[in-house]
A and B are shown apart, each in its own frame.
Chain A
Amino acid sequence: MDLVLNGEAYRLDGPATLAGLLRECQAEAGRTAVMVNGEVVRSSQYASVRLSEGDQVELIMIAAGG
């Protein structure tokens, strides 16, 4: 399935769920926040959110800042 991940084309080979994408990206669930098509997904819903062709996904983490 083709997604847009962080603004770039991304081919997801595994299961078409958010949890599957995070696993494939080796993104730790507790340290990665997710937006799908502009909507923030609560971390409790990662396993149940299914992804669709062309979905725009943003993976976000904590960084240093003032």
Chain B
Amino acid sequence: MTDGLKLGDRIFSSRLLLGTGKFSSTDAMIRAVRASGAELVTVALRRFHPGRPVDDVFGPLAALEGVTLVPNTSGARDAREAVRAAQLGRELAGSPFVKLEIHPNPHHLLPDPIETYEAAKILVQDGFFVLPYMPADPVLARRLEEIGCAAVMPLGAAIGSGQGLTTMSMLKLIIHEASVPVIVDAGLRSPSDAALTMEIGGDAVLVNSAIATAEDPELMAGAFAAAVKAGRDAWRAGLMPRSEAAAATSPLTAFLADEGAG
């Protein structure tokens, strides 16, 4: 693989990670996962209640080839709860990856940087490949990298808000300084948001709502996959510099002008 995404000890060819929430049905979700080409797919945890009907998400996902499940710690309000959730997720998914997310306020769902940092330290020591959902803060990104996180996942905008890359200037700083992959997570609305993330040097994007709540999630998943590839190729190819003035693409010789005119 010439342009793989290295996370922990694994290398992935897809730079689009997909969340599985908010789909109208498990079938729609599975079709979107296939169309996205995603190799890393996030899942959540919930209680199993004996005797109540179970919507089996795990079975159909586990049957997909080439898909690694990434349990998240959603619902955790502090580091202690997040560590427990990660350990439970590991038992269920059999995957060393965890999407560490600690967002105690349901109104904005912004990540708690202090609890996230504390939980990440414990989980890295416990052998996890930690993918922390975090504010777009270059200082925190560096600190999370230093303690051994496998990537950093700064937000583009609030979860599910569809506001796009509201944190653009901070994302550029994080990307400039990071030596672990930068995965922009949350807030993306359109494939162009994903393409732009890749064009500025982001390593991957994690998308959920923009695909799950589309009228045709399968089609949108394919659109995001194409956008991620286009943006990545553009970044590798090297975008042309900007210029204040025009720079002609055709010769400007004056052979069409009348001799002696004006």
Q: How many residues of B contact A (CB 8 A)?
A: 40
* Interface members, chain A 42-66 (any B CB < 8 Å): 42-43, 58-66
Output the least CB separation between B23 and chain A (Å). 7
Binds A, one of B88-96, B144-152, B164-172, B250-258: B88-96
Residue positions of B touching A, CB distance < 8 A: 19-23, 26, 29, 42-51, 54-55, 57-59, 61, 69, 71-72, 74, 84, 87-89, 91-93, 159-160, 206, 208-209, 212
Residues of A within 8 A of B (CB): 5-6, 24-27, 31-35, 38, 40, 42-43, 58-66
Bound-state Cα–Cα, A63 to B21, Å? 8
Q: State A31–B93 Cα separation when bound (angstroms).
A: 8
List, in ascending order, chain A residues with CB within 8 A of B58's CB: 31, 61-62
- With A26-B50, A66-B42 as known contacts, state yes or no: A33 contacts B57, CB within 8 Å: no
Nearest A residue to B160 via CB reads A66
Counting residue pairs across A and B whose Cβ atoms lie within 8 Å, the total is: 99
Judging by beta carbons under 8 Å apart, are A64 and B43 in contact? yes
Residues of B within 8 A of A38 (CB): 84
**How far, in Å, is A37 (CB) from chain B's closest CB?**
12
Q: Which of A24, A40, A58, A66 has the most CB of B within 10 A?
A: A66
Q: Is the CB of A65 within 8 A of B50?
A: no
